Amino acid sequence: MPSVDRMDPRALEVARACKGFLDEEEGMRLHDLARECAPIGPIVEIGSYCGKSSVYVGAGTKAGGGTLLCVDHHRGNEEQQPGELYHDPDLFDPEQGAMDSLRIIRRTLRDAGLEDTALLLVSSSTAAARLVTVPLGMVFIDGGHSFEAAQTDYERWAGKVAHGGILAIHDLFPNPDEGGQAPITIYRQAIASELFDELPTTKTLGVLRRR
Ligand code: MG
């Protein structure tokens, strides 16, 4: 287990209890990166779901005196739809006939004391990217895991990372038997672009620094 003393204890408790797919060691790495990058520019997270990673990133952003923008349409990604592997019936709203994780993340951020730091943008990645034109301290890509979705996130957001800022990508699986290959595909593209330096990974979290 990583040392977690450096994270706000209330936020850590909320992050641990929150639904989601993020290992604590990865979460703490994101926390530390966000704290370091917050002075460079705003932090953006693509794919927030119920807010587990938003709390790690948000607590780090708050400690660094910055702002986090949590981008998600809150309708679930392709793997979270009814009948799919990661579907959670608690998040399905029968009245709308759709997934809705927005009400959950609002509570998560409130409980974690992050309502003034982590701002919710209920939007597709593409629409949000049209709005955000300032150089960013960090971009964390953890949205849709289809090749199309990951490629879109990479193309729309990687170029917005400020010099010295961080591009982090979740769910890298070098062995195809262990997981989908879309995230690692865009990670390799980022390296091939020669715009980024590769930093050590934490489990499935890839970390690149913009030159
Ligand atoms: Mg993920």
> 181 C-alpha vs ligand 1 centroid, how far in Å?
12
> 171 C-alpha vs ligand 1 centroid, how far in Å?
5
The token pair at 184 is: 């690692």
The token pair at 129 is: 């990217």
What are the boundaries of each domain within the chain? 9-210
Question: Per-10-residue mean pLDDT for the chain, 211 residues long?
Answer: 83 97 97 98 98 98 98 95 94 95 98 98 98 98 96 98 98 96 98 98 98 97
Looking at residue 4, what is its pLDDT? 84
Looking at residue 173, what is its pLDDT? 98
CA–CA gap between residue 58 and residue 80 (Å, rounded): 24
Give start and end residues of each alpha helix (H) in the chain. 9-17, 24-37, 52-63, 102-111, 125-131, 147-157, 182-192
> 198 C-alpha vs ligand 1 centroid, how far in Å?
19
Looking at residue 3, what is its pLDDT? 73
The token pair at 170 is: 């979740």
> What backbone torsions phi and psi does residue 15 show, to the nearest 5 degrees?
-60, -45
> 113 C-alpha vs ligand 1 centroid, how far in Å?
23
> 140 C-alpha vs ligand 1 centroid, how far in Å?
10
Residues catalogued as catalytic: 145
> 68 C-alpha vs ligand 1 centroid, how far in Å?
18
> 24 C-alpha vs ligand 1 centroid, how far in Å?
12
Q: Which residue has the tokens 């990583």?
A: 2
The token pair at 115 is: 């309502």
State the CB neighbour count (10 A cutoff) for residue 118: 26
Looking at residue 2, what is its pLDDT? 56
Paired with 69 in beta bridges are 44, 119
> What backbone torsions phi and psi does residue 163 show, to the nearest 5 degrees?
-60, 130
Tell me if 61 sits within 8 A of 38, measured CB to CB.
yes
DSSP 157-173: HGGGEEEEEEEEE----
The fold for domain 9-210 equals Rossmann fold (3.40.50)
